[in-house]
């Protein structure tokens, strides 16, 4: 069964501090992994998509890493800001059998890590 | 450029009533999706559509009906609402399938069934 597990469930940090969120997945076969940010009362917004061959990818103060061998990904937030308070969701699509990249691949969503940044 | 919109944003309805949630996207994306989000669960797929007039069930389709007569619209209907359908509903779209293409989510509809 495909699974995506995130840790911690919640995290509280002070503004300006760094933090790292974890994602472990068992989705197979694997092609890419996505991190989304979901602000309270809003829909998820993509932060980054990492393919099998990428180890690190940055988007401003957000840096995602991927270890396809251990099936782990992390999202590192540098110099946190109050606006970083949100839920961060790890998502992994499954490769549809006998189909190409334009097909539907079932997305397995993690339950998210709720990050709270305090002033 | 509105992107992907949902209406209404908030809805309160009574058990047994029919309710329709609307989703509209302006990108002409082929794929559209409906998810529900509940505490303790990740986003769960209700239905998806690969193109106009092509729909398929997701993980939790019971009690829901969808249609897609136009590429840009993907309404979700609860034929006889139950309290267990109280949730936040998100519509999403992607240019092609989800395997390689990014999904874009709408702002959500918070539905309460009393």
Among A37, A45, A40, A50, residue whose Cα is nearest residue A112: A37
Question: What is the spatial distance between Cα B92 and Cα B58, in angstroms, rounded to a whole number?
Answer: 13
Mapping DSSP to helix (H, G, I), strand (E, B) and coil, where does residue A74 land?
strand
Instruction: Give which of B4, B7, B37, B42 to mutate to test A binding, by max A Cβ within 10 Å.
Output: B42
pLDDT per position as a tens digit, B21-75: 999 999 999 999 999 999 878 899 999 999 999 999 999 999 999 999 999 999 9
Which phi and psi (to 5°) does residue B66 adopt? -130, 165
pLDDT at residue A96, as a whole number: 67
Query: Higher-confidence residue: B2 or B35?
Result: B35
Judging contacts by C-beta atoms under 8 Å, the chain B residues touching residue A93 are 98-99
Q: Does B104 touch chain A (CB under 8 A)?
A: yes
pLDDT at residue A102, as a whole number: 55
Q: What is the mean pLDDT of residues B90-111?
A: 90
**pLDDT by position in tens, chain A (length 119):** 889 999 999 999 999 999 999 999 998 878 899 999 999 999 999 999 998 888 999 999 999 999 989 999 999 999 999 999 999 999 998 776 655 555 677 889 999 999 999 99
Exposed e or buried b per residue across B3-12, where buried means at least 16 C-beta atoms within 10 angstroms of its C-beta: ebebeeeebe
B101 burial via Cβ count (<10 Å: 0-12, 13-18, 19+): buried
Query: Higher-confidence residue: B100 or A79?
Result: A79
Contact B77, B19 (CB under 8 A): yes
pLDDT at residue A112, as a whole number: 95
Residue ranges in chain B assigned as alpha helix (H):
none
Q: What is the mean pLDDT of residues B6-10?
A: 97
């Amino acid at each position: 069964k495909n699974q995506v597990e995130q840790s911690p469930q919640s995290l509280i940090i002070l503004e300006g501090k760094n933090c790292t969120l974890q994602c472990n997945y068992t989705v197979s076969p694997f092609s890419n992994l996505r991190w989304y940010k979901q602000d309270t009362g809003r829909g998820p917004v993509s932060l980054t998509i990492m393919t099998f061959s990428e180890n690190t990818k940055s988007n401003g103060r957000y840096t995602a890493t991927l270890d396809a061998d251990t099936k782990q990904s992390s999202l590192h937030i540098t110099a946190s800001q109050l606006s970083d308070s949100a839920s961060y969701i790890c998502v992994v699509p499954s490769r549809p059998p006998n189909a190409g990249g334009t097909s539907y691949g079932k997305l397995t969503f993690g339950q998210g890590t709720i990050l709270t940044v305090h002033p | 450029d509105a992107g992907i919109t949902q209406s209404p944003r908030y809805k309160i309805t009574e058990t047994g009533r029919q309710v329709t949630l609307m989703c509209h996207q302006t990108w002409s994306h082929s794929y559209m999706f409906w998810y529900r989000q509940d505490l303790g669960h990740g986003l769960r797929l209700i239905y998806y559509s690969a193109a106009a007039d092509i729909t398929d069930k997701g993980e939790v389709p019971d009690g829901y009906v969808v249609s897609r007569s136009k590429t840009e619209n993907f309404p979700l209907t609860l034929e006889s609402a139950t309290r267990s359908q109280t949730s936040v509903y998100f519509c999403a779209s992607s240019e092609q399938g989800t395997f390689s293409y990014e999904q874009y989510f709408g702002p959500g509809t918070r539905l309460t069934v009393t």
